[in-house]
Structure 1
Amino acid sequence: MAPKKKKDIGYMNKYVYDAFLWTFSVLVELFFREVHPRGSWKVPKEGPVLFVCAPHANQFVDPLILMRVVKKETERRIHVLTAEKSMKRKFVGTMAAASGAVPVGRAMDKTRPASGKIYLPDAVNDPLLVRGVGTNFEANDFQVGGSLVLPKVNNVAASAEILEIKGPEEIRLKRPFKGGVAMQQLTGRNDMTEDGIFVNGKSSAIGPAPGYEGTVFQIAPKLNQTEVYDAVHTVLHRGGTIAIFPEGGSHDRTELLPLKAGVAIMSLGTVASKPDCNLKIIPVGMNYFHAHKFRSRAVIEFGNAIEVPVELAQRFQAGERREAIGQMLETIREGLISVTVTAPDYDTLMLIQAVRRLYNPKGTKLPLPRVVELNRRLIQGYNKYKDDPRIVDLKKEVLSYNAQILALGVRDHQVQYARVSGVTCFFLFWYRLVKLCLLSIFVVPGTLMFGLVFLTSKWYSKRKARQALAESNVKVQARDVLATWKLLVAMAVAPLVYTYYVVLITWLYHYNRVFGFLPDGLRKRYLIMAQVMIYPTVTYAALRFGEAALDIFKSLGPLIKMVNPWTGNELAKAQARREKLAERITDIINTLGPEMFDDFHSKRIISDPFTQSPPATPPRQKSKADAEREAPEPVESYDFPASPTSPTSDRNGLHKNESFTDLANQDIFSTRPSTPKKHHSRRPSGGFGQGFQLKPFSTIDGNLDEVSKRIKSGMRSRGHRRSSVEDWHQEEESGATTPRSEASHDELTMSRKER
């Protein structure tokens, strides 16, 4: 019997892919309340595409969401680069392999403790030299291209690549360890800055601290990724799509991790081996709002396509690898920054979100893409002006306001209840309480039935988070694995729970007709089929009604505080403080915004709520009947431009998630540009038969009176030309023709035929 042929790396069966994606899309839709794609029109419909995604905030959920969005928007299937460690998991690995995933080995997944300790003998003059105590660097575990990994401090572990092995106790690094923490670990000294620079410079002491023997360490091997690169090149050369998360692994940090060189090597290698492949790199921002929480929201933003310069690929192939890779990585990093919201730390991110809420004092509900764009611009402004005295003082005031509402036990959007009178709050409280009780009728049965699944998934996901945190060098709280394991556990436990209920009710019916609640004579097959349909329906109803019930329940607390005279007064003070703070934030943004963004006024995300100038009243538009009365011939013979908001506008070219009436239609937020209306003008001809043409309306700037004047003028000139033609016919009948008039007659006849 002939041996079974081994499948190629990244082999994809499109039917299995679609079935897998449909199954998990149901779970994604249940877990997330909203997933909004933005900029999906930028994804090419054909040709090789390399999706570069960041931040990697949801371990196995990120690829699922990306695959779902791309399949729905462009009908394209993606080969996702997946960690080899994940591919070895039984369930996850099987599903990933069936969907065409490409396994990638990671050196950090294969780190192991090494014997002995290491230190820097001359950290000031030669930080590349590492010396060991009780080590054997000539063992097989150590190799050029591998890495030395230091112990984690604050969940961060420094590492450096090995350049040369000089002996059993001496190694030379390719680049030195970075950061003050790493220098303290390797020298036992504390006379350096946070960046690892010694305070006294070259005059500092040379060796480690007296009596310091070094630090324990781990060794990471060098991996050969040739097969992976070849598989990626093959897929892209065939016009396929690849998705990669260049940070290397999932994390829950607020900033982007350093990008791995693999994404640059793949893109440069693809173009170098086939310069005419027309490879497009699409940066993708995975922007979540509480990514690990159930029924959260996400915005998947696609950036502008990045093309790989052929000259850069040729330099890469010619041996200038380091320069070419560095330049390509910087280009990709800039593309990712344009579609992600990154902050230096968690406190800064919380500050920016608080400012964003205060910058919208009217309480207008913004679409998710606008929220993401506003956060991004606020972070850019904060990073530029964070040392400005106005920003420093404003930061203190915002943090103080947050502390005040936290002490009151309310959220920022609930402070608005202070505007409502106590009597109104009293009746509103009882109205919502009754509404909550009615919703509970639909929520409680499903909650009791599915509660075991919720508890099990939450417990197991936290357990996996602790395990991932212990194994990772970059995670803060390992929240990036929570959503993944909640979904996986729910997939496994939910069918078991439903099966248990079906068996239990069927047995009770056989034993005592479910305590006499069900009549005799029911066939068990129909009873089982009814349960199979009822249980998921009850659970889904509990989910949908539970969302509304939870929102109502959260609103009861502030209403109670408003009815209470003491706490109501505190809420009123918080509301007054909020209004002053919002006005102050708006003034600062209006002052500094134009200095940073050239399009601040023309494309501002939120209109100034404190402006006193009333909106301009648009001129009255003339009706079709008015135009018919003024025109010398029926207006149906002309192509009048349709207004974007008129019923005759062409909306078929719009994306399914958008409309012209949506706030997200602004050109910096819309997912695709509007389709221009095509006007079919008459074919131009010479002589008297040539029709007039209207000038572009864009120069009129919305003045419809000017439009009307130009139309009348065009009609009038056309009437004069027709009068001259009629006079010419009279002259022709009398025989008074000239060579010029005969030529004009030929042109007129031709014009009429063409028309």
Structure 2
Amino acid sequence: MSIVRKILYSIIRFFAKIIFTIFYRDHGAFHRENFPKDDGTPILFIAAPHGNFLMDAITIFVACPRNMYFLSAKANFNYPIFGTIITILGCIPVTRPQDAERINGDGLVKVIDEGKKVTGEGLGKVLQVGDTLYVEFERPNDNEMLKEASGTVEEIINDDLVRIKEPGMKWLTKGRRKGKFRRLVEYGNVFIRVERGNTMKTLEGLNFIPKSVTQSVSRSWDRLSSSPGKLPFPINDDQPDEIVVCPQNPEATERTPLLNASESSSYHKTQSSSRPTSTYKPNFPSVPDIPTTYSYIHMPPHSEVYSAVYNHFSKSQCVAIFPEGTSHDNEHMLSLKYGCAVMSLGYLASKEPDAFGKERKLKIVPCGLNFFNRHRFRSRVFVDVGQPIEIEQRLVDLYRSGGEGKRQACQELLKTIQTSLTELTVNAPDYNTLLFFKTASRLYRENLPSELSFSKKLALLRKIAKKYTANTPPTDEARKLKYEVVMYIQKLRSHRLSPPHMSTTPVSLFLYLPLLVILFILTMPGLILFSPIGLIAKYVGKKQGENAMLYDDNSLAITRWPGRDVIATWKMMSGLVLFITFDIIYSIIMVHFIKKCNLYEFHGRKDIFILGFCIFAFFWTVIAYATILLWERLCWVGKRTWVGVWSLFNPRERKSLTSWRNELTIRVCRWVDNGE
């Protein structure tokens, strides 16, 4: 890393820490001693779960004391400002399947053998193993949209036939507009680019094209893939091929039907919490075996990415990767991709020395990301750094042997990484189970004589999660306890109450009501000035979260519901842009006011600029941050005040909930301590 890049890197890191401190109420890194010292050994940082998009990278970037290079999607480098920043940081571009160029195929193809095979003239010569193949159909009575099915090529059987990987060609949930499709029609040395919707009459009207050409084009129109096949049946666009509905919390399920805002709210209200999770598969018709047009995506080779990573390792530098491959909205880690294992073993398997002429070495450092209410502003995040993983020479030799030995070495290393990350994170199969873990941890701590540090709280949370998931399925005692705890939380939420504030009594109102009024008065001026930023950022985050579910307009991103993995990122970016805009406007107004009222004697434009910059960089920044802190405290006091008011008018229900909580506390403590 050059001197200039090091300086820029430090500047970006400084501002990232400021933004990070403002966005998160509490953050930190546990077991920082596990960060290896800079002894010339390259480091591969592996972070999971990747549940908060760009905020995950910022978290590792801020927490790690070493300079590192992230792997980033190649499409991210095209953004004007963000692309410049990640280029300065030296991020390594990775071409994802959705970023690759989609190529329109010439000729017609036919899906056969119940979607397991696709045939077409010269199809095997065009496609490669691993390519994504799309077939396109016109829907009945629809002149605007095309319906598509896709599959991954598993084998090239011959020049005209390919085999599709299981489960075969599957319908995509979204259609594509016909106007986006063009075909190249060829006759001899003449190439004609035809957009769908054009007719032979249109072509014949082009005077510079010989009539013999248009006649030949007419005869070979079907062979040259000019028109998609017509579907004999309609297909619904609104649902994926498999749907899992959890009535207690539909927005947190793995796969959920797409609902608009009104349907979603009514759907949530009408669900009964006592009904079990249900699974069903819509009866979608199979892809028909009629001739139709196609397109495909060539999977880019990973050799360039691996080569760039090896180059950094050879220079004793640090590389960071999220091995799940994509951000997601699950409450647990996804399966890890083989890339991190191939990077590690592939580098060590080379018998060439590193850039300094020394024997190649490498350490893998697992980093567990623990977000609490990850999509919310002023939430919490902690990085737990695990023990560095030393790769056994046995695995390196096994990788060098190639074939099955190479696969086995990657599997063993990947399993070791997965185990390490699991020990550093909290994993739950669904939202209700995670809610049970958190509430049980809080109830258990109420029985302790003193408050735990946050690292010990996190350790207790993992202990409860590990105990619950130790048995598959969980024991009857654990399932009954989970049901009772979740029902208790839902009962509190029905009254807009939360467990942390249930200790408030009506007597406490004598303290909280005056404090609420004072905080409201202090917060109001800053709230008037800066509340539009929060409201707009919240709206942008919500809309981008909805868009993330159908990010490629073709398939339902089943790991993103309701898109909470991108909400925090968009809140941060939009809030930052809006704050800078508001800050500039308010600074100009304030300087103009000072000048007009002669509150300060200016001696030229230099004085105006210096004063304006000080107001911009310090005054409004302090006011905005103070407003955030006051608003945060106002919300806390407001919640406790509400509990006191509610308890004053509902004494019997308050007594019932307190008894229920005490009973659950005893049961949770007994269950957690059982077997110790």
- Relative to the length of structure 2, the TM-score reads 0.71
Deviations 1:142-194, CA, capped at 9 Å, x for gaps = 3212245899xxxxx99975331235774325x63499999xxxxx9xxx999
Which residue pairs with 1:551 in the alignment? 636
- Equivalent in the alignment of 2:612: 528
- Aligned residue among 208, 213, 218 for 2:288: 213
CA drift at 1:345: 1.6
1:28 aligns with 2:28: no
| Alpha-carbon offset, residue 556 of structure 1 | 0.8
Counterpart-to-counterpart distance in 1, 2:306 and 2:392: 19
Instruction: String of CA shifts for 1:529-548, please: whole Å, max 9, x gaps.
Output: 66333222211211222222
When residues 111 and 259 of structure 1 are mapped into structure 2, their CA distance, relative to the original with a 3 A threshold, is farther
Q: Is the 8 A contact 1:118 1:130 kept in 2?
A: no
Between the two structures, name the one with larger relative contact order (CA 8 Å, sep ≥ 6).
2
**Residues 132-211 of structure 1: pairs in structure 2 closer than 5 A:** 132=118, 137-138=123-124, 140=126, 142-147=127-132, 161-166=152-157, 170-173=161-164, 176-177=166-167
Q: Which amino acid aligns with 1:244?
A: I
CA shift, 1:583, in A, is: 0.7
CA contact (8 A) 1:284 1:339 kept: yes
Distance 2:110 2:120 in 1: 9
Match of 2:45 in 1: 51
* Alignment gaps of 5+ in structure 2: 137-147, 173-234, 236-241, 245-282, 354-358
| C-alpha displacement of 1:362 | 3.1
Calculate the TM-score normalised by the size of structure 1.
0.64
Task: From the superposition, tell whether residues 468 and 403 of structure 1 become closer, same or farther in structure 2 (CA, over 3 Å).
Answer: closer
Compared with structure 1, are the counterparts of its residues 169 and 369 closer, same or farther at alpha carbon in structure 2 (3 Å cutoff)? farther
**Would you say the 8 A contact 1:159–1:177 is kept in 2?**
no
Q: Secondary structure at the match of 1:471?
A: coil
1:548-603 CA-to-partner distances (Å, cap 9, x unmatched) read: 22211111111002222xx1220111111111111112222222xx3xxxxx4xxx
Deviations 1:15-37 (A, max 9, x none): 11111111111100100111121
1:178–1:255 Cα change, 3 Å = farther
Quick one: which of 455, 459, 463 aligns to 1:369?
455
- Determine the structure 1 residue equivalent to 2:57: 63
| AA at the equivalent of 1:132 | V
Partner of 1:479: 564
Q: How many residues align?
A: 535
Q: What per-residue deviation string (whole Å, max 9, x for no partner) do you get for residues 297-356 of structure 1?
A: 111011121122223223223313322222222221112111111111222212222222
The 3 A distance-change label for structure 1 pair 48 and 282 is same
Give the corresponding residue for 1:400: 487
Match of 2:9 in 1: 17
Correspondent of 1:315 among 398, 401, 409: 398
Deviations 1:102-138 (A, max 9, x none): 111111333859888987737xxxxxx8123889844
1:265 deviation in Å? Answer: 0.9
Q: Who is 2:502 aligned against?
A: 415
**Separation (CA, whole Å) in 2 of partners of 1:99 and 1:279:** 22
Identify the residue that residue 139 of structure 2 maps to in structure 1.
none
Matched, 1:98 2:173: no
Answering whether residue 246 of structure 2 is matched by residue 246 of structure 1, we say: no
Residue aligning to 2:443: 358
Shift of 1:91: 1.3
1:193 and 1:58 map into 2 onto residues whose CA distance is 24
1:82-117 deviation per Cα after TM superposition (whole angstroms, max 9, x unaligned): 111212212111101101211111113338598889
2:357 is the alignment partner of 1:261: no
Give yes or no for contact 2:43–2:316 (8 Å, CA) kept in 1. yes
- 1:11/1:100 contact within 8 Å kept: no
Larger Rg: 1
Can you list the C-alpha shifts for 1:195-237, whole angstroms capped at 9, x where unaligned?
A: xxxxxxxxxxxxx999862799985432112122111112112
- Taking the aligned partners of 1:366 and 1:113, their CA distance within structure 2 comes to 58
Q: Pick which of 348-357 and 300-309 moved more.
A: 348-357
Match of 1:438 in 2: 518
Deviation, 1:503, is: 2.3
Q: 1:384 to 1:160 in 2, by over 3 A?
A: farther
Structure 1: runs of 5+ lacking an equivalent: 1-7, 123-128, 152-156, 183-187, 195-207, 595-599, 601-755
Which runs of 4 or more aligned residues in structure 1 lie more than 6 Å from their structure 2 counterparts after TM superposition? 113-120, 133-136, 157-160, 178-182, 208-212, 214-218
AA matched with 1:332:
I
Cα 1:589–1:135, aligned 2, differ >3 Å: closer, same or farther? farther
Amino acid at match of 2:363: K
- Code of the aligned partner of 1:442: L
Q: The residue matched to 2:53 in structure 1 has which SS? A: coil
Counterpart of 1:302, as a letter, is V
CA distance in 1, matches of 2:659, 2:149: 48
Q: Conserved in 2, the CA contact under 8 Å of 1:272 and 1:310?
A: no
Greater mean deviation of Cα atoms: 225-234 or 131-140: 131-140
Q: Give the AA of the match of 1:171.
A: V
In 2, Cα distance between equivalents of 1:537 and 1:530: 11
Is residue 12–residue 100 contact of structure 1 (8 Å, CA) maintained in 2? no
- Secondary structure of the residue aligned to 1:13 is helix
Q: Give the CA deviation at 1:394.
A: 2.0
Q: Distance in 2 between matches of 1:210 and 1:254?
A: 33
Distance 1:218 1:341, change over 3 A: farther
1:644 match? none
- Check conservation: 2:116, 2:166, Cα contact below 8 A: no
Equivalent position to 1:234, from 308, 311, 318: 311
Q: 1:707-752 deviations in whole A, cap 9, x for unaligned? A: xxxxxxxxxxxxxxxxxxxxxxxxxxxxxxxxxxxxxxxxxxxxxx
Residue by residue, what CA displacement relative to the aligned partner does 1:360-387 show, whole Å, maximum 9, x if unpaired? 2337543322232222222222223444
SS in 2 for 1:338: helix
Q: Which amino acid aligns with 2:154?
A: L
1:342 aligns with: 427
1:281 shift after superposition: 0.6
1:429 maps to 2:509:
yes
Equivalent-residue separation in structure 2 for 1:181 and 1:61 (angstroms): 33
> Counterpart of 2:16 in structure 1: which amino acid?
F
Determine the structure 2 residue equivalent to 1:470.
550
Distance of 2:341 and 2:4 partners within structure 1: 24
Shift of 1:53: 0.6
In 2, the alpha carbon distance for the partners of 1:535 and 1:118 equals 64
Aligned residue number for residue 682 of structure 1: none
- Does 1:451 pair with 2:557? no
More strand by share: 2
Q: Distance in 1 between matches of 2:529 and 2:496?
A: 32
Q: 1:284 to 1:402 in 2, by over 3 A?
A: same
Alpha carbon RMSD of aligned pairs, Å? 3.7
User: Partner of 1:391 in structure 2?
Assistant: 478
The answer for the alignment partner of 1:197 in structure 2 is: none
Question: Which residue identity is paired with 2:651?
Answer: G
Deviations 1:504-533 (A, max 9, x none): 33445566x3xxxx7586777276366333
> Identity over the aligned pairs, expressed in percent?
25
Whole-angstrom distance in 2 between the partners of 1:482 and 1:118: 41
